[in-house]
Every structure is written in C-alpha cells, then in structure tokens.
Amino acid sequence: MSRRALHSWREALLVYARPRVVAMIFLGFAAGLPFLLVFSTLSAWLRDEGLSRSVIGFFSWVGITYSIKVFWAPVIDRLPLPWLTRRLGRRRGWMLAAQLGIAAGLAGMALSDPHHQLTAIALLAVLVAFSSSTQDIVIDAWRIEAEEDEYQGAMAATYVFGYRLALLAAGAGAFYIAEFESWRAAYLTMAALMGLGIATTLLIAEPEHPPLTGAATNADLPLPARLARWFRTAVVDPFVDFFARNGKLALLILAVIALYKLSDITMGVMANPFYLDLGFSKTEIANVTKIYGFFMTIAGAALGGVLVTRYGIMRPLLLGAVMVAGTNLLFALLARSEPNLTLLATVISADNLSGGLATSAFIAYLSSLTNQAYTATQYALFSSLMTLPAKFLGGFSGIIVDARGYEFFFVYAAAIGTPAILLVLVLIRFNRRPNAG
C-alpha cells in the first residue's frame, strides 16, 4: 500500500511542474492516438467508402487485442529487444518499437484501398492495435517505475490529459482532415503525429529497475528446463508475488479493482442514445458532452492528482467512488426533465469531473499495488480486470432501458456502484490497523 503523502497545498500543486509528470502528457497522447483509428474513426472511413455494416462490424473484433494484453505482458516485462534494449533500456526500447509499429501500421492503412485491399487494412489494423496495447503496457510500467506512489495521481492526471487530446485529434481532427482533404491524408497525418510519442521516448530517462529475479539463463541446462524457468519467472512469479505480499487481503483488492469502474462504464454505454432520445441535436451533444466535457474531465483528473499528493490515495479513491455513483442519480433527474441545455451541462459537469477525479485516484491505487520486479505484468492484469466485468455487464444496459426506462436504468447504475464504495471503506479500515501490512 502507498504511504500517506504529507505535502502542503503549494507542494501538491507544484507536482505538475515535475519533468516526468509533464512527459506523461506526450506519452498519454501517443497512447490515445491509435485507439479511435482502429475503432469508430475507422468505421466512419469504411462506411464513407460504401462498405456494408456487417463488414464494418467484423472490424470491431480488432478491439479484443486491448482486452487480452495481459497474455504478452510477461514477455515485455522480461524479454530484451535486440539493440533497442541495450541502447534505450528495458522500457524505452519496447516503447519505441511499439510506437514505430503504430506509425507504420497507420501509414500502411492510409496507403491501402478499402475496395481492393480490405484484408490488408484489417491486418494493418491488427498491427496498430497490437502495437498500441503493447505501448500501453510499457507506458504504464514506465509511469509506475519513474515516480513514487505519492506522484502517481499527478502522473495519471497528465496521462489522461494527453490521452483526451489524442482522442480529439483522432476523432474530430481526422474527420476535419477527411472532409477537406481525404481519409488517406487523415491517416497519414495521424501516423506523423506519432512522432510526438517517439520524440518523447527518445528524450525521457529510463527508470531504475530492480534486478530481474531468475534472469540467468543457465546455458548448460537443456532447452525445456530453460523454457520452464522463463515461464515461472515471467508468468507464475508475478501472480504468486501479488498474493504473497497481500495475503488474505488479495481477494478483497481484486474485488475492488473489478467493481470500481462498474457504475461508470455501465452508465456510459447508454449515454449517447439517452441524449438523442431526450431530443438533443448531434451538435448540442458534441458541444456539451465532447468539447465542454473534455475540459471538465481534465479538471477532475487534475484535482484527483492534487488530492492524491495532498492526502494519499485511499481518501480520494473513496471520494471518486461516491461521486461516480452519485452523479448517475443526476442522470435519473435529467431523464425526468424536458430537454434543457443548462441542466445537461450541469449534469455533464458533475459526471466528467467525478469521472476524471476517480480515474486519477484509481490509476494511482493500481500503480501502488505493483511490485516493480513485475510492473508490466501485474499492471496489465489489473487494467484487464478493471474493464472486463464492467464491459460484460454493460452489454445488458439496452435490455434494462427497454424494459424499465432510462430513469430506472440510471438509478440501477448508481446502485451497482455501492459495492465499490463499501469495499474501499473496508480497505481504509484495514489500512488503519496498527499491524496492517
């Protein structure tokens, strides 16, 4: 667990002047840029070219890559890359390789014809998604190893800021370029923007690493024995380590991770259909939820970073859980009202502010749980566990709305946030015990 940080408000605010905290803006931008380009932006491009919705639907399977990155995280944690690891280090070498893969994949997609080279576009999209999820693994590992727990809230906040900027570039920016030039120009521009991430990787310093346990290859051993040793140290040991360090508390921690984002993600599935069904125009939705909401999310993330630095992790974590669940009740109020832009802006303000704050606190909490001997593997496990239950439950959102209406759905979304609040309270109580480890 993270030790409680004791800082003045001035010191807490100055955390955003730390060079590695600033660097996370650019790394966050590099992480966020590919995401929409293999999802909704790609879907728009293919539809604009006249491809069928069924074909476009198959392309959504590319996203599975992001949910299973935990399977190759052990390789990234342990395996050096020829030349790159020696020149740049364990994290930066993999980071640069992933970024070059993203840039090459996007450029290849731009230069392909959707009508005659659709298979090539699909394979290049998989390359982009694989390289992007690999980059996510390494950026998370670098962030955790580069700064202490008390600064992880600020590192998360600047990461969110950069990530959101990238979503604007890959979403609205790509659409503007495609409208006035072409989709080819849009994707080539996005490939060029990956240069920001590449330049950052070359400029930042490699963090210090603890020695790799069991790293010796023992060349005299037969190949099966060497492979068995690698599997144990790369795959088995990170999980054994987590349970050994946390003991009986491990299952409680995993439950918090699995349930913390449940309310937020479940509500988000029905957000855009809800706005449209209320009668808001697409322009109004874009202005309030995308543009205005962007700034509120960044404000919330920044506030979360300051609170983590000022008070430690657990209290902001609890505040975020309460705020996320509570703001869903405001959507229930909105569901009972006539379309009103002022009320919509108020609800979006509360929702995005609480979501940004909760995200910063939660990322800081996940970061504090990792052992730096297994950073990439353990954080990939946590981030996968964080989204999978929520995505599964979110799939039933439409059924609930159809059966009971939006007002009931948002009350339900608030209610399923209650277990996370209670579990965080239990963790706080445990941490206050004199012998809590």
pLDDT per residue over 357-383, tens digit each?
Answer: 998 899 888 888 888 777 777 777 787
Residue 219 has phi, psi (to 5 degrees) of: -60, -20
Instruction: Determine, yes or no, domain membership for 130.
Output: yes
Do 258 and 133 sit in the same domain of this protein?
A: no
pLDDT tens per residue across span 59-76: 667 767 777 787 888 888
Total domain count for the chain? 2
CA distance 291 to 273: 18
Do 112 and 172 sit in the same domain of this protein?
A: yes
Of 39 and 98, the structure prediction assigns the larger pLDDT to: 98
CA distances from 153 to 7, 126, 184, 299 (A): 14, 32, 38, 13
What is the H or E stretch that residue 33 is in? helix 19-37
Instruction: Determine, yes or no, domain membership for 3.
Output: no
8 Rama class: left (phi>0) / alpha (psi -120 to 50) / beta: beta
Under the banding of pLDDT at 50, 70 and 90, the label for residue 264 is: confident
Do 285 and 406 sit in the same domain of this protein?
A: yes
The domain boundary, picked from 203, 238, 261, lies at 203
pLDDT on residue 190: 97
Instruction: Determine, yes or no, domain membership for 398.
Output: yes
CA nearest neighbour of 317 among 159, 425, 180: 425
pLDDT on residue 294: 81
Do 178 and 99 sit in the same domain of this protein?
A: yes
Mean pLDDT of the chain: 84
The domain boundary, picked from 170, 203, 236, lies at 203
CB atoms within 10 A of CB 57: 10
Instruction: Determine, yes or no, domain membership for 406.
Output: yes
Mean pLDDT, rounded, for 176-202 = 94
CA nearest neighbour of 303 among 15, 3, 26: 15
Do 300 and 415 sit in the same domain of this protein?
A: yes
Which of 10-14, 163-167, 308-312 has the largest mean confidence? 163-167
CA distance 325 to 69: 29
pLDDT on residue 234: 65
CB atoms within 10 A of CB 208: 9
Under the banding of pLDDT at 50, 70 and 90, the label for residue 8 is: low
Tokens of 163: 């990530």
Handedness of CA 32, 420, 1, 152 (dihedral sign): positive
Instruction: Determine, yes or no, domain membership for 218.
Output: no
**How much of the chain, in percent, has pLDDT values that exceed 90?**
33
Q: Is the pLDDT of residue 435 over 60?
A: no
Q: Is the pLDDT of residue 78 over 70?
A: yes
What is the per-residue burial (b if ≥16 Cβ within 10 Å, else e) of 290-328? Answer: eebbbebbbbbbbbbbbbbbbbbbbbbbbbbbbbbbbbb
Q: Which of 45-54, 150-159, 213-222, 271-280 has the lowest average pLDDT?
A: 213-222
CA distance 247 to 242: 8
Q: Is the pLDDT of residue 95 over 70?
A: yes
pLDDT on residue 54: 67
Do 196 and 234 sit in the same domain of this protein?
A: no
What is the identity of the amino acid at 72? W
CB atoms within 10 A of CB 21: 24
Do 257 and 185 sit in the same domain of this protein?
A: no
Contacts of 171 (CB under 8 A, 6+ apart): 36, 40, 41
pLDDT on residue 57: 64
Q: CATH no. for residue 231?
A: 1.20.1250.20
Which spans in 111-249 are helix H? 118-146, 152-168, 174-180, 183-203, 223-231, 237-246
CB 73 within 8 A of CB 137: yes
pLDDT on residue 222: 67
CB 59 within 8 A of CB 122: yes
Half-sphere exposure of 183 (CA within 13 A, CB side): 18
The domain boundary, picked from 175, 203, 231, lies at 203
284 Rama class: left (phi>0) / alpha (psi -120 to 50) / beta: alpha
CA distance 382 to 366: 7
Q: Is the pLDDT of residue 4 over 50?
A: no
pLDDT tens per residue across span 193-240: 999 999 999 999 998 766 555 544 455 566 677 667 766 776 677 778
Tokens of 86: 């020696």
CA distance 135 to 125: 15
Of 108 and 291, the structure prediction assigns the larger pLDDT to: 108
Do 357 and 229 sit in the same domain of this protein?
A: yes
Q: Is the pLDDT of residue 436 over 60?
A: no
What is the identity of the amino acid at 337? S
Do 27 and 77 sit in the same domain of this protein?
A: yes
Do 169 and 230 sit in the same domain of this protein?
A: no
pLDDT on residue 218: 52
Mean pLDDT, rounded, for 255-270 = 84
Of 437 and 343, the structure prediction assigns the larger pLDDT to: 343
User: What is the span of the domain harbouring residue 377?
Assistant: 223-431
Instruction: Determine, yes or no, domain membership for 321.
Output: yes
Instruction: Determine, yes or no, domain membership for 229.
Output: yes
pLDDT tens per residue across span 161-172: 899 899 888 887
Q: Is the pLDDT of residue 148 over 50?
A: yes
Do 178 and 242 sit in the same domain of this protein?
A: no
Under the banding of pLDDT at 50, 70 and 90, the label for residue 154 is: confident
DSSP 289-324: IIIIHHHHHHHHHHHHHHHHHHH-SHHHHHHHHHHH
Instruction: Determine, yes or no, domain membership for 210.
Output: no
Do 318 and 403 sit in the same domain of this protein?
A: yes
pTM equals: 0.73
